[in-house]
Chain A
Amino acid sequence: MQEITGLFKIAEILRAILGRFLSDPQLVDICMSLINIGSIFTIISLTAVVLVYAERKVSAFMQRRSGPNRVGPGGTLQTVADMVKLMAKEDIMPAGADKWMWMLAPILLFIPAAAVFVVFPFDNKAIFADLNIGVFYFIAMSSQSVLPFLMAGWASNNKYSLVGGMRTVAQMLSYEVPMVLSILGIVMLAGSMRMSTIVAAQQHTWFILLQPIAFVVYVITATAEINRAPFDLVEGESEIVAGPFTEYTGMRWALFFLAEYANLLAVSVIATTLFLGGWNGPWLPGWVWFFLKVGGMVFLFMWFRWTFPRLRIDQLMSFGWKVLLPLALLNIIVTGIGMYIYEFFS
């Protein structure tokens, strides 16, 4: 067993403190679970606030503006102010909307976005549930987000929303496939779907060096998965106003927004875990490395968004099926052959 460090140490200390007050070890476990869940939600909402601020700053800087700079030092509280504003907004439901579906959609979208955080290894051992099918769980959960989009699009009783909803389904389904295939290469190399094993396997070489094509495919498909430019057709504001979100106001809209940024964080975390060696890194503690790498990935996604124009729906589909999918398949074949040769010689 490795030495106990970082976040896990904090958890151990917490556990010890709790142990003093609670006699039953089972109660301690339940308390720890609650704390973990609480911290995951805190991380999600905190990062959403931070990411929105970061996005605005990055976009501003790339356009040579200075971005939010009024509320709080350097504008850091701008998102908080916006949240307050959104909460105070009137909740308007379109006439003729499918009431329950319409109300459920943002909540349902948020659930998978939050649920994927369960398997993220923030640091050595700092993982809520180290499932042996961690990667699979992530894929399964994140593909759930198709449905709420479609629900929102259908239930809003608005043609823009409907077109947006339909686009989501087409886009997410067709980008799911190459994404899964690109991750498959990693799973083959690591020989496991357990997140901690995958990270541990990258102690010496990051998988981005062994699987550069998979990384490129993953980054592209991930951008499409989370509907960000240049794949933001779902909400492409110059075409279909705001897609499925068109009819949402106030807090409901904010939930979509929150989920969007939670998803951005999620794919960055997965990229870090699978390709960039997770918490591995010299000198600094693991979680610092982890967040640095995640930050780098988030910046990359933002950089894409503020540079590229949007693709057209047919180009998007043919790019997914005709370029990315064969590329991902090829990558798997090459990986397989490579592994075989490697084993043959050693």
Chain B
Amino acid sequence: MLKTETFTLNMGPQHPSTHGVLQVVLELDGETVVQAIPNMGYLHRGIEKLAESRTYAQFIPYTDRLDYVSSMGNNLGYCQTVEKMMDIKVPERAEYLRIIMTELNRIASHLIFMGSLAIDLGASTGMMFGFRSRERILDLFDMVCGARQTYTYIRFGGVSADIPSEFIPALERFLTDFPAMLDEYHRLLTGNEILYHRLKNTGVISAQRAVEIGLTGPALRASGVDYDIRKVEPYGIYDRFDFSVPLGQVGDCWDRYTIRMEEMKQSAGIVAQALSQMPEGTVMASVPKVVKPPAGEVYHSIENPRGELGYYIVSNGGTNPYRLHVRRPSFINLQVLNEACQGLLIGDVVAILATLDSLMGEVDC
């Protein structure tokens, strides 16, 4: 009698396409995935615990290191949470700058998504193109705050510095070039039949399941659930902008991909609107030197490129947070991996991992 049995393949933590140090324990029946259990914690730095021994302001640089390809969003979420606790009013110009920066960061983050998806599917040119365009955005950030990845730009009560004079022309140049870049990616990747067949109908997550698990961001909207915090509970000044939230129908990898591509276009639109409306003025409200929020607790969430990034802070009235918890979208989105992968092939695991777009820095907080 011929007997077959499944075998275990440890994909990661040293593997070319697990985006950092994720280990996926695959149980395989030939090439078919029986189970895909993500094994996390290789990048755990105890950031939540670190917060308890830092002052409120000192924790901002650490938020950069959560989702390190969209640090502006991390800064923004944290600062808005503390501002909410302390009732700080942010000057208009700073609000606009925050929008411009976070939306640019969303584009940068989605470009990384696109690039890493491309290389995971074997099209390395797509990656190079994506990273090349992202450099343009990083140059802009570098100009504004002096860092390319860990910005610490958004602070309590505003932003750390006003934009330099050369920023606006450079941004305008980027905005005029961006549609052509996007078009190039669409021609290189989106139109490609192989890519379409790789992504279409793989890793389908139903809307109901997505909600049950708590997926957020593009991964949720791909399943057709219209939930974007920028629209549902507009934070900052998002209610002033005109943009649409792309939705998918099936919840497969293809939808997750196309939604992000469309989001980039929308983000560019928001940046352009913000740029034209931005008033002159100060960029920093007067904030007490020592930040001491009143005792109590607060939760605030924003729409980061990967989903709902929430900060939950408990204050006992001291200078350090009593407890700080971060709701990390990457971590929660990754939980769907096993379900999405079952019955598919090894190649699909890679595609699903890439389209869930979990970032290990955020998963392992």
Contact = CB atoms under 8 A, between A and B. Distances in A.
A309 B345 contact: no
A309 B197 CA distance: 11
A91 interface: no
A309 B122 contact: yes
Contacts of A239: 17, 346-347, 349-350
Given A62-B125, A230-B194, A313-B31, A238 B348 contact: no
Interface of chain B, helix or strand or loop or mixed?
Answer: helix
A313 B347 contact: yes
A27 interface: no
Interface in A249-271: none
B194 A308 contact: yes
Interface string B322-365: 00000000000000000000000111111000000000000000
A312 interface: yes
A238 B121 contact: yes
Nearest to B10: A159
Contacts of B188: 307
B125 A63 contact: yes
Interface string A305-342: 01111111111000000000000000000000000000
Nearest to B346: A239
Contacts of B119: 238
Interface string B113-142: 000001111111110110010000000000
B195 A312 contact: no
B128 A63 contact: yes
A308 B192 contact: yes
A50 interface: no
Nearest to B351: A312
B347 A309 contact: no
B143 to A, nearest CB: 23
A237 B127 CA distance: 15
A308 B123 CA distance: 5
Nearest to B17: A238
Contacts of B125: 59, 62-63, 306-307
B9 interface: yes
A309 B118 contact: yes
A30 B349 CA distance: 57
Nearest to B188: A307
Contact of B345 (A63, A159, A238, A312): A312
Interface residues of B, number: 33
A150 B188 CA distance: 34
Contact of B350 (A238, A307, A313, A315): A238
Nearest to B348: A312
Nearest to B132: A64
B132 A309 contact: no
A310 B119 CA distance: 9
A314 to B, nearest CB: 6
B49 interface: no
A163 B31 contact: yes
B17 A309 contact: no
B16 A238 contact: yes
Contacts of A238: 16-17, 119-122, 350
Given A241-B15, A308-B123, A315-B198, 9 more contacts: A63-B129, A65-B128, A159-B7, A163-B9, A309-B192, A310-B122, A310-B194, A311-B198, A313-B31
23 contacts: A59-B124, A63-B124, A63-B128, A64-B128, A160-B9, A163-B9, A166-B30, A236-B122, A237-B16, A238-B17, A238-B119, A238-B121, A240-B346, A306-B125, A307-B188, A309-B189, A309-B192, A310-B347, A311-B194, A311-B197, A312-B347, A313-B345, A313-B346
Interface of B: 7, 9, 15-17, 28, 30-31, 118-126, 128-129, 132, 188-189, 192, 194-195, 197-198, 345-350
